Amino acid sequence: MPGVKYSGRLSDAELAAVLPPAERLAQGPVAVIECVQSIPCNPCEKACPFGAITVGDDITALPALDRAKCKGCGLCISRCPGLAIFVVDASGDEATIMLPYEYLPLPAAGDVVDALDRSGKPAGTARVLKVNTAAGLEGTAVVTLAVPRKLADIVRNFRPRGRDAIYICRCNEVSEAEIRQAVREGARTVAAVKLATRAGMGLCQGRTCRRLVSRIIAEETGQHPAEVLPATARPPVRTLPLGTLAGGEDDE
């Protein structure tokens, strides 16, 4: 889209093109398809039993939603591989948001969770109304949240409370809280965090976590992520059997 700065989440201009008008939101549940990249993908079109979603013969076209036909059933939510479809109902005192959720453990109905905005930042409190794990959803749970109505266009994810299981280093299973604790105890560089927690010392050699560790250090110390001393990168760039380096075996 011209004039859009790509940040990994939808810009205001992109949102304006996909969000339903207030009148439609007030009429009852409606799908919100936050899909703005022309990629070859069309499961949403077949997912809708009411023919409300059209991609058409050009498979890279963006889905077009006929909001008059949409009943807000949510069957399209789990079919979107990009997890870009939500169903929002702002017709009552509280808004409800149905969203795809692929993390474990799943919440339970009645749980109070932190509602997150599109950037992953806390936006308020939400109550879990329903967790749908029907077999037809193929592993993508559809969770219904109740949120204050003013957050209907804001909340797009949630974080369970009371859990410290957000992994930063997947290889060595080091959590966000452990890394923040290490920074507070004086680890100010990616290498220092690595020595304190083993984050980045696993098989993937920090490919997954080092940027996240930089960001956490920056957040904790009030720096820009670019100011945080990065981890020392050493060859080999991918995992190799030691025999390959010794010349004893052919590498496939």
Partner 1 sequence: MRVTNHPVLGDAPPGRQVTIWLDGEPLAAVEGEPIAAALLASGRRVFRRTPRFHEPRGVFCGIGRCTDCIMTVDGVPNVRTCVTAVRDGMVITSNLKEVPAGDQ
- Pick 173 or 227: Cβ nearer partner 1: 173
- Pick 140 or 172: Cβ nearer partner 1: 172
CB neighbour list of residue 93: distance below 8 Å, 6 or more residues apart: 149
Q: What is the largest CA-CA distance in the chain?
A: 71
Sort strands 157-159 and 112-116 into parallel, antiparallel or unpaired: antiparallel
Contact region for partner 1 (CB under 8 A) — 73-81, 156-164, 170-178, 214-222? 170-178
Helices (H) and strands (E) in the chain, counts: 7, 11
Taking CB under 8 A as the rule, does residue 238 contact partner 1?
A: yes
What residues numbered 42-101 form the site for partner 1, per CB under 8 A?
42, 59
When binding is defined by CB under 8 A, the residue of 11, 27, 189, 208 that contacts partner 1 is 208
- Pick 49 or 243: Cβ nearer partner 1: 243
Query: Are the beta carbons of 172 and 182 closer than 8 angstroms?
Result: no
- Pick 120 or 241: Cβ nearer partner 1: 241
Sort strands 85-89 and 30-33 into parallel, antiparallel or unpaired: antiparallel
- Pick 202 or 225: Cβ nearer partner 1: 202
Taking CB under 8 A as the rule, does residue 235 contact partner 1?
A: no
Taking CB under 8 A as the rule, does residue 170 contact partner 1?
A: yes
Count of chain residues binding partner 1 (CB under 8 A): 17
In degrees and rounded to multiples of 5, residue 183 shows phi and psi of -65, -45
For residue 216, give Cα distances in angstroms to 67, 85, 177, 221.
41, 29, 10, 8
Contacting residues toward partner 1, per CB under 8 A: 40, 42, 59, 139, 170-173, 198, 202-204, 207-208, 238-239, 241
